[in-house]
Amino acid sequence: MSEQQALPADMRNLSAAASTVAKQQISLRLVRILVGVLLIAFATFAIFASIDGLSTQMRGALSVFTATLIAWTVMDLPETPVALAGALALVLSGAVGERALFAALGSEIVVLMLAAFVIGAVLKQTGLAERCASRMLAPFQAVQGIFWATTGAIFLTAFLVPSTSARAAILMPIFLSLSAAIGRPTVTRGLALLFPSVILLSAAASLTGAGAHLVAAEAIRRVSGQSVDFATWALLSAPFALVSSLIACGLILFVFLNTEDRKALMTHGQGASKAFSNRDKTILAVVGATVALWASGSLHGVGLPIVALVGALVVASKSISGITFKAALKGVEWNLLLFLAATLVIGEALLETGAAKLVVDRVMATFQGSVAPAAWVLIAFAATVSALAHIVITSRTARATVLIPALALPLADLGVNPAAMILVVTLGSGFCQTLMVSAKPVTLFGGMEPPAFSAVDLLWLSALLFVPFVALLGAFAIFAWPLLGIRL
């Protein structure tokens, strides 16, 4: 008797079902890859053979841009290898020079993110981020107060840790301790929805909160000449990030929890009242000084990357934090840095070759003779499309790389300030919590065993939050940003 025959009938059925599912997934994957290859071939042929008025460099830039977009969406290939392949293809095709690729790897944006990752790694390895959050939550005992305070604590971490996935990993112990202390399944579900939602929404507050923000700041500088530093970004985006996070918190509290859940009490452990050591205070002082210098860059003139490097070198010193620089480097998300550098090359190619301007001009030519829509209509359309883009493009930075030349700039040519439109699509792309695979924090909190929330819970929250999010973003673009210098 074979080993397969020796298995019980139910086990054989289960094994056969699993094998069938695996084969179906492989078949679907192959179909997606085949369709993607055909689309890339068709798009490349159209760009090189059917579109007139393009230089060879323009055709190369547009072909690579289209191919990477199809690879990310239709073929569902990993973002970083696709972006690197696209950057290399641009070099080999002559659309950009080799120096552009190496310059991107050593660009100010990548250096800034690298140093910020080192600082975030120190905060994580020392447990300071967790203890600071616990200290903030200590005065609150009722669940409702804890939810609001947790939202505020998570919001503040956006200024310290430059990755939503890193923030999720740092804050996971806080979630687990709160969940265990409260001991109510419905509250656990609410907390599991709250943490990733606020992590993703609050990232908009900081220039270093996501790589997409640095891409947007560079695009704004290139197309409008306006410089967006750390303080300017926070002034424009932090209020929006805070209000959207509070809206998410309110929806979770009053939709997923009942009155009894909201009034339930918890007792904090002794860890929340544990005093900070002298080493902890020194680390916090260095990090606080780094953030303060970032915010006051226009006064002292020292660039963000230099400030970040100095802060990283100091805080990742064994005599200061007890953690060596080598150990802190292990916390750097190299995958994200390489992806960011590669997308910078792709975006640079579209701008330098004039391909982006040509696409904008061709799109605008189709509207000649027609009445341009009102500015608020264009803003609403951009906010809606960018908020939905995460369904097909799972990477936040990739969405910004695609949406800025393909959506923001063409719409801006209809009569809207390009800086405002770039901000709208970039912040709109921060809405990314509809599906379990939409963002790493959602995957992390949704993938626990047993599951803290279901895919239906996530979809329901996303549906409830979508309209307020888009409306709020439109309101800031139309009413708030003009008061701060970003006019429509």
Query: What is the pLDDT, as a whole number, of residue 389?
Result: 85
Whole-angstrom distance, CA of residue 400 vs CA of residue 408 = 10
Using 50, 70 and 90 to split pLDDT, how confident is the model at 272? low
Higher pLDDT: 116 or 200? It is 200
Task: Point out the least confidently predicted range of 58-62, 120-124, 132-136, 441-445.
Answer: 132-136
Higher pLDDT: 117 or 236? It is 236
CB 308 within 8 A of CB 115: yes
Query: What is the pLDDT, as a whole number, of residue 304?
Result: 79
Using 50, 70 and 90 to split pLDDT, how confident is the model at 122? confident
420 φ/ψ sector (left φ>0, alpha ψ -120 to 50, else beta): alpha
Whole-angstrom distance, CA of residue 339 vs CA of residue 163 = 13
Closest to 262 (Cα-Cα) out of 254, 274, 272: 254
SS3 289: helix
Query: What is the pLDDT, as a whole number, of residue 472?
Result: 97
Calculate mean pLDDT across residues 385-400. 82
Report pLDDT digits (tens) over 81-110.
888 999 999 988 888 888 888 888 888 878
Whole-angstrom distance, CA of residue 214 vs CA of residue 204 = 11
Look at residue 23 and tell me whether its pLDDT is greater than 70: no
Which residue's structure tokens are 């939550």?
Answer: 137
Look at residue 128 and tell me whether its pLDDT is greater than 60: yes
Residue type present at position 366: T
CA distances from 77 to 33, 315, 409, 434 (A): 9, 37, 27, 20
Query: What is the pLDDT, as a whole number, of residue 38?
Result: 93
Residue 184, Cβ density class (10 Å: 0-12 exposed, 13-18 middle, ≥19 buried): middle
The count of other CB atoms within 10 Å of the CB of residue 25 is 10
Calculate mean pLDDT across residues 301-315. 86
Calculate mean pLDDT across residues 470-487. 92
Query: What is the pLDDT, as a whole number, of residue 141?
Result: 79
Name every residue whose Cβ is closer than 8 Å to that of residue 75 and which is 6 or more positions away in sequence: 32, 33, 35, 36, 37
Using 50, 70 and 90 to split pLDDT, how confident is the model at 3? very low
CB 420 within 8 A of CB 430: no
Instruction: Identify the top-confidence range among 187-196, 343-352, 372-381.
Output: 187-196
Query: What is the pLDDT, as a whole number, of residue 384?
Result: 92
Q: What is the mean pLDDT of the chain?
A: 83
Distance of CA 384 to the CA centre of its chain: 17
CB 390 within 8 A of CB 164: no
Calculate mean pLDDT across residues 23-39. 83
Closest to 352 (Cα-Cα) out of 24, 99, 122: 99
Report pLDDT digits (tens) over 352-368.
888 777 776 776 666 65
Using 50, 70 and 90 to split pLDDT, how confident is the model at 116? confident
Query: What is the pLDDT, as a whole number, of residue 474?
Result: 95
396 φ/ψ sector (left φ>0, alpha ψ -120 to 50, else beta): alpha
Q: What is the DSSP string of 244-255?
A: HHHHHHHHIIII
Across the strands, what pairs with 142? Answer: 265
Model pTM score: 0.76
CB 383 within 8 A of CB 407: no
Look at residue 5 and tell me whether its pLDDT is greater than 60: no
Whole-angstrom distance, CA of residue 416 vs CA of residue 210 = 25
Q: Is the preceding peptide bond at 482 cis, omega within 30 degrees of 0?
A: no
CB 322 within 8 A of CB 123: no
Higher pLDDT: 56 or 476? It is 476
Look at residue 251 and tell me whether its pLDDT is greater than 60: yes
CB 249 within 8 A of CB 147: yes
Query: What is the pLDDT, as a whole number, of residue 475?
Result: 95
Calculate mean pLDDT across residues 277-299. 84
Which residue's structure tokens are 């226009």?
Answer: 298
